[in-house]
């Protein structure tokens, strides 16, 4: 244990989730922990920020070595107030976001509040890891996520000085008994997107409502270098994430179209 | 006017914003318009989706040739219900998101609900344009955004058959008199990120609150091929957007670190 290290912890399932509590214990193995996590579920909040309303923070109970704040903002708000207010004097050595209840592989990286916060943390030059388990259940078994999360955190901290910045990892752990997990694979983001099948009903007052429900359409299920393939075959998938969304290939196609 | 065309319109400033009304008029020049826009301001909502609550839609007043629905979801929810429910029988020919009050250049592409909806629309194989004006004012002058938006929409529709998919454009228009705008530049996303300066006060009940306020830190202000440079020099910036966030360069660095 290196108690000199400082770990910033956040997530999107709120400070009350089982995955968050598992992450607190995991992060404490690596140093002192300061956590700022949403005070309610903020799943699917992506890179959302709160522009038009004030935000409130309160300290909640924490194990020794950790300080935990519940914050009324989005996951990205949590990362922003951590780096631009709480950590004004000393930057943390690592950002850990999670452990998320549910996979953030493939295009989920864009919808995920967990990954939103991890990405935001990486902007500040600190290695960031978003850690997710492919199981949405509130009482999911985080043993595999903790074991492989520990391994990946240790590797990143050991190599931090020689890895470029920004450094952000999207780590997804398959839902299986820890001993059945076959190891870790570096991967790229799987191509594909969600098609929704809106659940349409009437509320007790006779008003129509819609509820989002859908399924991921994997555009390349056979591609062995993707995160979805890794998860489907019992591996932990690690995808490094960057935020230049420019479609460089399209720039060439557009040069004769838009002048 | 080609009344056979179908344009899907959305935004993040709500169906009541001046920019949205300007976009309705602009879109009507190109065909029939079906709009599904948030029923309240959803700025900064990024790619957020609503997972845990039902969503409500109601039709609101619209000019001839247009149908406008106010929806209680995020901008991405608007795009999803459009494609997976409303447009089940016929896909639109174009997605237009905006006209946004405020620039979505550089890393703003990731926080913007306007761009979130445009990106989501592009997943369905339809050319998508997010159109934004670098002016947050509620009564901003959209003349330049309409003029150059028209030009870009016409060019994209004319070339749609020979451009690959997904096709998503992030179009940002400088805040200046229309005649002072110097033209259009294809550009890449500027590197940089926002540093926040949280405004901290006490509410009437003595509770501390925080309010997000910050400034964009341009990491490459001299780079003439960027969207921020174009805007700062009086050009409309057009950045094609893609959603593979894999950091391919980092994969190489990690191969000896994570095994």
Interface test with B, best of A13, A110, A236 (most B CBs within 10 A): A110
Report, as an integer, the average pLDDT of A85-94. 92
The total number of structural domains that make up chain B: 1
B134 near B234, Cβ under 8 Å?
Answer: no
| pLDDT tens track for B126-171 | 999 999 999 999 999 999 999 999 999 999 999 999 999 999 999 9
**Residue B255, Cα to own-chain centre: how many angstroms?**
36
* Both structure tokens of B204: 């009437």
Any residues with CB less than 8 A from the CB of A155 and at least 6 apart, and which?
B257, B258
pLDDT in tens, B179-218: 999 999 999 999 999 999 899 999 999 999 999 999 999 9
The alpha-carbon gap from B3 to the nearest alpha carbon of chain A, in Å, equals: 23
CB contact (8 A) between residue B48 and residue A43: no
Whether chain B has a CB inside 8 Å of the CB on A202: the answer is no
Average pLDDT (A19-27) is 98
Nearest Cβ partner of B80 from A212, A241, A250?
A212
Q: Given an 8 Å threshold on Cβ–Cβ distance, is A47 in contact with B52?
A: no
Q: What is the pLDDT of residue A4?
A: 85
pLDDT at residue B1 is higher than 60:
no
Q: Helix or strand or coil: residue B245?
A: coil
Instruction: Look at residue A60 and tell me if it is in a domain.
Output: yes
Q: Is residue A200 within 8 angstroms of chain B, CB to CB?
A: yes
**What was the ipTM of the complex prediction?**
0.95
Q: How far is B25 from chain A (nearest CA, A)?
A: 22
Closest residue by Cα to residue B104 from B55, B173, B204, B155: B173
Distance CA A160, CA A31 (A): 15
Q: Work out the average pLDDT over A38-45.
A: 96
Token pair listed for B256: 């000896």
Picking from B196, B183, B195, the residue whose alpha carbon sits closest to that of residue B237 is B183
* φ/ψ (deg, to 5) at A31: 160, -165
Residue A231 lies in a domain: yes
In angstroms, the separation between the Cα of residue A38 and the nearest Cα of chain B is 14
Contacts of A43 in chain B (CB under 8 A): 51-52
The verdict on A241 touching B (C-beta cutoff 8 Å) is yes
Per-residue b or e along A23-47, where b marks 16 or more CB atoms closer than 10 Å to that residue's CB: bbebbbebbbbbbbbbbebbbbbbb
Tell me the C-alpha distance between A239 and A189, whole Å. Answer: 7
| Interface mutation target, options A46, A70, A215, chain B, most CBs of B under 10 Å | A46
pLDDT in tens, A98-119: 999 999 999 999 999 999 999 9
Is residue A15 over pLDDT 90? yes
Q: Could you read off the pLDDT of B50-62 as tens digits, one per residue? A: 999 999 999 999 9
- Mean pLDDT rounded to a whole number for chain B: 96
Q: What percent of chain B has pLDDT over 90?
A: 96
Asked whether the beta carbons of B78 and B38 are under 8 A apart, the reply is yes
When the pLDDT of each residue in chain A is averaged and rounded to a whole number, the result is 96
Percent of all residues in chain A with a pLDDT value above 70, rounded to a whole number: 99
For position B68, what pLDDT does the model report? 98
The alpha-carbon gap from B188 to the nearest alpha carbon of chain A, in Å, equals: 6
Tell me if residue B194 falls in helix, strand or coil: strand
- The length of chain A, given as a count of residues: 259
Inform me whether the C-beta atom of residue A252 falls under 8 Å from chain B C-beta atoms.
Answer: no
**B27-47 confidence digits (pLDDT tens):** 999 999 999 999 999 999 999
Percentage above 70 pLDDT, chain B: 99
Domain assignment present for B259: no
Q: What is the 3-state secondary structure (H, E, C) of A184-204?
A: EEECECCCEEEEECCEEEECC
Task: Using an 8 Å CB-CB cutoff, list chain A residues near B49.
Answer: 44, 46, 111, 212
CB contact at 8 A, A30 and A3: no
The H or E element spanning position B230 is helix B227-232
Contacting residues for A64 by C-beta, under 8 A, at least 6 apart: none
By DSSP bridging, strand A168-173 and strand A235-240 are antiparallel
Q: Token pair for residue A48?
A: 């959302």
* Residue A95 near residue A87, CB atoms below 8 Å: no
The tally of CA atoms less than 13 A away on the side-chain side of residue B101 is: 20
> Closest Cα of chain A to B134: distance in Å?
17
Q: Locate A216 and state its tokens.
A: 């991921």
First to last CA, chain B: 59
In this complex, which of B55, B203, B214 lies closest to A209 when CB atoms are compared?
B55
Please write the tens of the pLDDT for every residue from A127-138. Answer: 999 999 999 999
Interior CA angle at A49 toward A209 and A212, to 5°? Answer: 20
Residue B195 sits in a domain of what CATH number?
A: 3.40.1210.10
B127: its two tokens: 């050319």
Instruction: Give contacts of B 152-191 with A, CB under 8 A.
Output: 152, 155-156, 158-159, 163-164, 167-168, 184, 186, 188-189, 191
Q: How many CB pairs under 8 A join A and B?
A: 225
pLDDT of amino acid B222: 97
Among all residues of chain A, which has the CA nearest to that of B162? Answer: A253
50-109 in B: which are within 8 Å (CB) of A?
50-57, 76-77, 80-81, 84-85, 107, 109
Q: Which two tokens stand for residue A82?
A: 């951590």
- The encoded tokens of residue A35 equal 């956590």
Which of B12, B38, B48, B103 has the most A C-beta neighbours within 10 Å, making it the best mutation to test the interface with A?
A: B48
- The helix/strand/coil state of A34 is strand
Q: In chain B, which residues have their Cβ closer than 8 Å to the Cβ of A198?
A: 80-81, 84-85
User: Does residue B224 belong to the interface with chain A, where contact is any CB pair within 8 Å?
Assistant: no
Whether the CB-CB separation of A124 and A157 falls below 8 Å is answered with no
Task: Indicate yes or no: CB of A51 within 8 angstroms of CB of B44.
Answer: yes
* pLDDT value at residue B4: 85
**Contact criterion met (CB < 8 Å) for B44 and A50:** yes
Cα nearest neighbour of B125 on chain A:
A193
Q: Which pLDDT score, from 0 to 100, does residue B101 have?
A: 98
Q: How confident is the model at residue A89 (pLDDT cuts 50, 70, 90)?
A: confident
Euclidean distance between CA atoms B219 and A123, whole angstroms: 12
- Chain A contact present for B245, CB below 8 A: yes
Domain membership flag for residue A206: no
The helix or strand, by DSSP H or E, that contains position A26, with its residue range, turns out to be helix A18-28
| Count of alpha carbons within 13 angstroms of residue A235, beta-carbon side | 18
Q: Is the distance from CB of B18 to CB of A171 less than 8 angstroms?
A: no
For residue B182 the two structure tokens come to 């110097």
Cβ(A57)–Cβ(A31) under 8 Å?
A: no
d(CA A213, CA B177): 45
- State which residues form the domain around B245: 6-254
Question: Is B171 domain-assigned?
Answer: yes
B47 contacts chain A (CB < 8 A): yes
- A22 by Cβ neighbours in 10 Å (0-12 / 13-18 / 19+) ranks as buried
**Residue A214 counted as domain residue:** no
Sequence-ordered strand ranges (E) for A11-150: 32-38, 57-60, 66-71, 94-101, 128-133
* C-alpha–C-alpha distance, residues A78 and A92, integer Å: 14
């Amino acid at each position: 244990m290196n108690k000199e290290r400082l770990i910033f912890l956040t997530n999107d399932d709120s400070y009350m989730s089982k995955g968050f509590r598992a992450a607190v214990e995991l992060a404490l193995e690596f140093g002192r922990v300061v956590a700022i996590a949403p005070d309610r579920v903020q799943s699917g909040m992506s890179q959302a920020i709160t522009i038009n309303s004030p935000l409130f923070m309160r300290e909640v109970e924490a194990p020794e070595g950790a300080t935990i704040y519940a914050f009324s903002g989005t996951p990205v708000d949590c990362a922003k107030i951590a780096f631009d207010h709480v950590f004004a004097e000393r930057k943390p050595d690592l950002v850990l976001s999670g452990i998320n209840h549910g996979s953030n592989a493939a295009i989920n990286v864009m919808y995920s509040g967990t990954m939103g916060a991890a990405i935001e943390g990486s902007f500040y030059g600190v290695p960031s890891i978003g850690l997710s388990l492919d199981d949405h259940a509130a009482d999911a078994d985080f043993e595999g996520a903790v074991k492989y999360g520990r391994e990946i955190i240790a590797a990143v901290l050991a190599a931090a000085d020689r890895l470029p910045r920004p450094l952000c990892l999207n780590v997804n752990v398959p839902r299986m008994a820890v001993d059945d997990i076959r190891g870790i694979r570096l991967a790229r983001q799987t191509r594909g997107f969600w098609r929704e099948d809106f659940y349409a009903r009437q509320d007790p007052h006779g008003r129509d409502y819609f509820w989002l429900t859908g399924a991921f359409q994997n555009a390349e299920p056979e591609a062995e270098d993707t995160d979805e393939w890794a998860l489907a075959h019992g591996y932990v998938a690690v995808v490094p994430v960057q935020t230049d969304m420019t479609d460089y290939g399209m720039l060439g196609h557009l040069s004769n179209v838009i002048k």
